[in-house]
């Protein structure tokens, strides 16, 4: 997508979007011809600029765009970044067609205060998940995407252009996450995911190491490799990426760990139909880490950041892990396998232990589509956040509220910690007697055993990372949830 600027309105865009506040005076609209259209519509009671109100007008002269969309933002007093972003997104979604390749936005009045959420709303919906369609079907799917976005306004400030550029970086990185999550497991394999990680790191000049199965075994990551046992010749890898800016803060690094289950069958505790079909999306946590790293250099984040992604599949063959197996983790704790479908916490356990020991971070945050219980508890609007440091959780909540990528804290009670202790080993990967009770919190209680004394938070994104019912700024399937939240967190922590 190409972004350009123009001081004067031209007929170039296929549609011009004109955001207007409720009760706005016509003088707030910078272009005289658009102002006249607004005055005529308002005088006749055809447009009140209520939030989400949209009126499409066809340009009446050659020097105006063919389509002009008057878009109501509602009353200024009730506005928020989220409401502006969502209103813009809905308007663009409603306008998407093969005829719309260039979108124009009229920047005038107080709309400049909201220029980043305005830009995000437009850009985030410029995505289509149908990456494997061919021929006419592909043309229909991709044909609704626009290629150019023009901002029309007199003397758009350098600060606002910077905000628009930030929106573009965030949106493109969100789409990178969406592509990885939506990627079919025979296309985005363990090796392919690792290669995409390398491409991203090379583009930005990051240090990256992709450790193979032999290295993982030598390190004693038995919890991780237990999950991989049923994958036959298919490999396991551990991706470690480091971002070290030239003028970095002297604080210890931030560690980000993402679950990278390329496909999760459930293992011998096989997932049933209606639950197994979309388990290619179980790599959303790892994909999120890649997307976050894609922003760090371009946005000049000042913190040292480390990303770790354990990559494997959870499949079934004669060597596959069985319920009642006992594995030894990287930190030496033994784990009784009570359910092979509680595998995400196992690969995260070794990745967390290794990351905390090796990099000694100030904060550690992990991301995982970990439990169905989180979807039951919080639906598709909130991610669950749990951890051992209230200051860290508070920062994540604040960033979630600011970006409208919301999180809700769930407890880790001492009883839940006791429930994760094993019968014949140090721990068990699921409390099978009462696993439906506080399943999300108990999964976090399990992970807590592997972070030592590090300040740590766990984000369960099971309900927010992927879905059939897209929110305003999303398209169907993968959402890219968490990227804008975490960038804000990294900018402010």
Cβ–Cβ contacts within 10 Å for residue 139, how many? 12
CA atoms within 13 A on the CB side of 205: 5
Q: State the alpha helices, DSSP H only, in 246-370.
A: 284-296, 344-359
Write down the residue that tokens 């679950």 correspond to. 259
Measured on CA atoms in the order 345, 346, 349, 350, is the torsion positive or negative?
negative
Q: How far is CA 345 from the centre of its chain?
A: 20
Contact 405, 480 (CB under 8 A): no
Marked catalytic residue, from 48, 90, 198, 271: 271
Alpha-carbon distance of 375 to 120, in angstroms, equals 26
How many other CB atoms sit within 10 Å of the CB of residue 392? 20
Residue 345 among the catalytic residues: yes
Beta-strand ranges (E) seen in 251-348 are 254-258, 260-264, 305-314, 326-328, 334-336
Q: Give CA–CA dist 177/23, Å, rounded.
A: 40
* CB-CB contact of 119 with 167 (8 Å): yes
Residue 464 and residue 448: Cα distance in Å, rounded? 22
Q: Is the separation of the CB atoms in 255 and 362 below 8 Å?
A: no
Round the CA-based radius of gyration of the chain to a whole number and report it. 24
Residue with tokens 């019912």: 469
Residue 417 among the catalytic residues: no
* H or E stretch covering 466: strand 466-467
SS3 276: coil
Q: Which two tokens stand for residue 445?
A: 């209680």
Bridge-partner residues for 367, per DSSP? 258, 459
SS3 content of the chain, % helix, strand, coil (to 5): 40, 20, 40
* Crossing angle between the packed helical segments 190-204 and 284-296, to the nearest 10 degrees: 10
387: buried, middle or exposed (CB in 10 Å: 19+, 13-18, 0-12)?
buried
Q: How many residues does the chain have?
A: 493
- Cβ-contact 436, 373 below 8 angstroms: yes
Helical ranges in 134-234 per DSSP H: 135-142, 158-182, 190-204, 213-218, 222-228
Query: Which residues are 2's β-sheet partners?
Result: 148
Catalytic residue among 213, 333, 345, 484: 345
User: Would you name the residues annotated as active-site residues?
Assistant: 271, 345
């Amino acid at each position: 997508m190409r972004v350009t600027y123009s001081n004067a309105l031209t007929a170039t865009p296929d549609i011009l979007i004109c955001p207007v506040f409720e009760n706005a005076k016509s003088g707030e609209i910078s272009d005289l011809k658009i102002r006249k259209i607004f005055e005529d519509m308002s005088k006749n009671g055809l447009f009140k600029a209520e939030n989400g109100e949209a009126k499409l007008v066809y340009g009446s002269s050659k020097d105006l765009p063919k389509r002009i969309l008057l878009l109501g933002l509602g009353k200024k007093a009730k506005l928020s970044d989220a409401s502006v972003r969502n209103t813009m997104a809905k308007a663009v979604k409603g306008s998407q067609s093969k005829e719309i390749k260039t979108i124009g936005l009229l920047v005038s009045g107080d709309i400049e205060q909201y220029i980043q959420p305005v830009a995000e709303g437009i850009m985030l919906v410029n995505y289509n998940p149908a990456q494997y369609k061919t021929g006419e079907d592909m043309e229909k799917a991709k044909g609704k995407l626009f290629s150019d976005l023009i901002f029309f306004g007199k003397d758009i400030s350098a600060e606002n252009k910077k905000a628009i550029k930030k929106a573009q970086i965030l949106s493109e990185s969100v789409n990178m996450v969406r592509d990885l999550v939506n990627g079919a497991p025979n296309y985005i394999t363990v090796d392919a995911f690792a290669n995409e990680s390398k491409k991203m790191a090379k583009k930005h000049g990051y240090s990256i190491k992709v450790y193979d199965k032999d290295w993982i075994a030598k390190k004693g990551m038995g919890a991780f490799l237990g999950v991989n046992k049923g994958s036959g010749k298919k490999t396991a890898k551990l991706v470690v990426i480091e971002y070290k800016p030239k003028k970095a803060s002297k604080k210890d690094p931030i560690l980000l760990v993402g679950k990278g289950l390329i496909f999760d069958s459930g293992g011998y505790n096989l997932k049933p139909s209606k639950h197994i079909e979309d388990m290619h999306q179980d790599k959303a946590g790892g994909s999120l880490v890649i997307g976050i790293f894609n922003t760090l250099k371009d946005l000049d984040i000042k913190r040292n950041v480390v990303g770790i992604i354990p990559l494997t599949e959870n499949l079934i063959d004669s060597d596959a892990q069985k319920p009642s197996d006992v594995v030894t983790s990287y930190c030496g704790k033994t784990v009784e396998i009570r359910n092979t479908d509680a595998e995400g916490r196992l690969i995260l356990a070794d990745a967390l232990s290794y990351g905390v020991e090796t990099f000694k971070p100030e904060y550690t945050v992990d991301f995982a589509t970990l439990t169905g219980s989180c979807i039951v508890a919080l639906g598709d609007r909130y991610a669950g956040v749990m951890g051992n440091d209230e200051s860290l959780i508070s920062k994540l909540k604040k960033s979630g509220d600011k970006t409208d990528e919301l999180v809700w804290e769930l407890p880790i009670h001492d009883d839940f910690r006791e429930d994760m202790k094993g019968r014949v080993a140090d721990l068990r990967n699921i409390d099978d007697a009462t696993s439906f009770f506080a399943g999300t919190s108990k999964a976090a209680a399990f992970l807590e055993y592997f972070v030592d004394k590090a300040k740590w938070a766990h984000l369960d994104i099971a309900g927010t990372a992927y879905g059939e019912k897209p929110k305003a700024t999303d398209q169907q399937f993968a959402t890219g949830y968490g990227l804008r939240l975490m960038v804000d967190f990294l900018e402010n922590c």
